Structure 1
Amino acid sequence: MPSFEGIIHKYNASKVAFEFTPTKLSNVLIMIGGMTDGLLTVPYVVNLPRVMKFLGYSVVQIQLTSSFQGWGTTSLRQDVSEIMELIEYLKSSEGGNREKIVLIGHSTGSQDVMLSLLAHPELIDGGIMQGCVSDREAFTMDAPAETIAQLTKDAKKLCDEGKSQELLSHYYTKYVFNTPITAYRWCSLLIPEGDDDYFSSDLPKEALERSFGKLNKPFLMAYSAEDQFVPSFVNKQQVIDNWKSIANPQYWSKHSGLIRGATHGVESADSQEHLFQMVTGFIKEFNL
């Protein structure tokens, strides 16, 4: 197995983040993984530092409470709280007095980027959302619609009864990578316009106006062209065009679009190079 040089930062009492070499550059790109991800699991993260160093950025990957199998019992808001802790640490003398902070999220990490930009724009200079798929649509690809609907109805009943943090049975977990999951997180993911539901293809204009329409920092949408977690009925380019029509053109990156040949995790060398071109173009476009 390859080894990687860098620095482990302890940004709070129980969490760390890994800064890849080259370290201690003035600006930082924070990598946020998706469901089941942890340090070094996103395929392209190990190649980001060689690209970002020419732009004056170190790459730091954050460990969250939701990393690996923790996502089922946490929330986007908890993720964002921990991301803000890391940002405050990096901006402190202990963390290197960093200047610009850009976030890049993979998969559900894109939802973290969206909420971070909406809730704390004063701390972030820009955001990149890669593999920005709908978890609601993805989870129903290989499961009977009637079954998911009934399970969601029962989970919502628990939430309505004040039992949102109750762990759901194995009838639920088998549909979510055998991960322990609370009633709240299930509903957040599976109910239309739930807390996690930013990227579904069927969201009404009003919902998109509350997310894309309110972003006031530069952002890049990097959607994997061959994403295996996107149902066949979804027109990826149409979804991107819809987001663009809602967003403020002052902040929507002209480099947004489909990553050529990319699977969800952007595994191939060619697709990674295209992603890196998009990221580089984005940073230069807004002088970040």
Structure 2
Amino acid sequence: MSLSMSSSSAASAAAAAASTPKSSSSPAAASSTTSWFSGIVRGRGDKPNTAKLSKSASATGIGSGDYGGPIKGKNQFRGVLFKYGPKSIQVAFKTGEYKQQVIFIGGLTDGLLATDYLEPLAIALDKEKWSLVQLLMSSSYSGFGTSSLKQDAQEIDQLISYLINKENSEGVVLLGHSTGCQDIVYYMGTNAACSRAVRAAILQAPVSDREYKATLPETPAMIDLAAKMIKEGRAEELMPREADPCAPISAYRYHSLCAYMGDDDMFSSDLSDDQLKTRLGHMANTPCQVIFSMGDEYVPDYVDKKALVNRLSKAMGGAEKVEVEHGNHSLSNRVHEAVQAIMSFVKREGPSGWDDPWS
């Protein structure tokens, strides 16, 4: 179905959309490939991998294509809405009709049109003959409390399978925001067949839900309650309303997000180097960029952000680091810098085919 999408309609369902941090886990080694991003891996040791972006960075590109470009007007996207799975929530919106796609994976409470940089990013990607795909999953909007990283990974795999089989995709780049970063790390650790079509990963705002939640007074008692419910075999039952005002949340998901070494606990500053490597080390098999907001409001003041991003990059085998000075969690105050960083990574080398995941 072809249509124009505006935030006044699509985002109305997400009035509460305000993403919070994240975390994830699961090691696994992906088989080496000869992707067209291999030059990023080869070049890691040759030059500094830290980029500092200034407020004066200019916007990237304008719309192109016979259809008039991906943006019709302010907060209005032009593209195709399609179903990628059998569930009613499993729909995605794609701008452009290109063989390479950047898949945006939002954080807690996010859905379509989740961040301000998606509009200029769609324009910049269109100019380079890339499509931007925004997906809805079972965990989108208020669904995160009764979902899991495992469920998200399964649905991401369904989307990539659809793009391969229905759109003749030549490969995708995964772009995660907030808890979407945990989703990417978890998915790449599953070694799912379609994960071989992932050419690179971008983690924007990979921060710890646990460390943020620890700043709230009700958290310790709620963690104890969640642990007790899980021990009693009630992991999928809902926590009291005060556990999370944004959405109903199960004991399992609350514990996963808020407890030490829970399934979502992946980017916490108090994890040891070995713990970070265990949870993030498999990302060394995928060209990866970490975009860290140095003014992220969901990172407690006591956390040394520069030291944390260095440790995360090291745990992922030397991921490229982009430190956005004064940037907030969603980079709504540094939109141009966000687009500049993402596009410089995506454009590093042109596409030259990809490995058939079933070959």
Normalised by the length of structure 1, the TM-score is 0.89
Structure 1 residue 53, shift from structure 2 partner = 2.2
| Residue aligning to 2:212 | 138
Do residues 265 (structure 1) and 339 (structure 2) align?
no
CA offset digits 1:248-273 (Å, max 9, x no partner) = 23xx22xx2212332111113xx221
The structure-2 alpha-carbon separation of the partners of 1:56 and 1:3, relative to structure 1 and needing over 3 Å to count, comes to closer
Task: Report deviation, 1:287.
Answer: 5.2
For residue 91 of structure 2, the aligned residue among 6, 16, 25 is 16
> Who is 2:341 aligned against?
278
* The structure with more radius of gyration: 2
- Moved runs in structure 1, 4+ residues, more than 6 A? none
Q: Which has the higher helix share?
A: 1
Unaligned runs of 5+ in 2: 1-7, 9-74, 352-359
Matched with 1:171 is: 242
Give me the CA root mean square deviation: 1.6
Counterpart check, 1:241 vs 2:310? yes
Correspondent of 1:31 among 104, 107, 124: 104
| 1:47-104 Cα deviation digits (max 9, x unpaired) | 2111212333100000011111000110011011001000000001x2x101111110
State whether structure 2 residue 232 is matched by structure 1 residue 161.
Answer: yes
For residues 225-249 of structure 1, what are the alpha-carbon distances to aligned partners after superposition, in whole Å with 9 as ceiling and x for unaligned?
A: 2111111001111001112232323
157, 165, 169: which one aligns with 1:84: 157
Alpha-carbon separation, structure 2, partners of 1:150 and 1:223: 31
Q: How is 1:49-128 mapped onto 2 (pairs within 5 angstroms)?
A: 49-92=122-165, 94=166, 96-120=167-191, 121-128=195-202
Q: 1:260 to 1:287 in 2, by over 3 A?
A: farther
Q: Find 1:226's aligned residue among 270, 290, 295.
A: 295
| Cα distance in 2, alignment partners of residues 112 and 68 from structure 1 | 15
Unaligned runs of 5+ in 1: none
**TM-score, normalized by length of structure 2?**
0.72
Corresponding pairs, count:
272
- How far does residue 286 in structure 1 lie from its aligned partner after superposition? 5.8
C-alpha separation between the residues in 2 aligned to 1:154 and 1:242? 32
Shift of 1:150: 2.1
Partner residue, 1:183: 251
Deviation at residue 212 of structure 1 after TM alignment = 2.3
Identity of aligned residues (%): 34
Q: In 2 relative to 1, CA 287–159 (structure 1 residues): closer, same or farther, beyond 3 Å? A: farther
* Partner SS for 1:125: strand
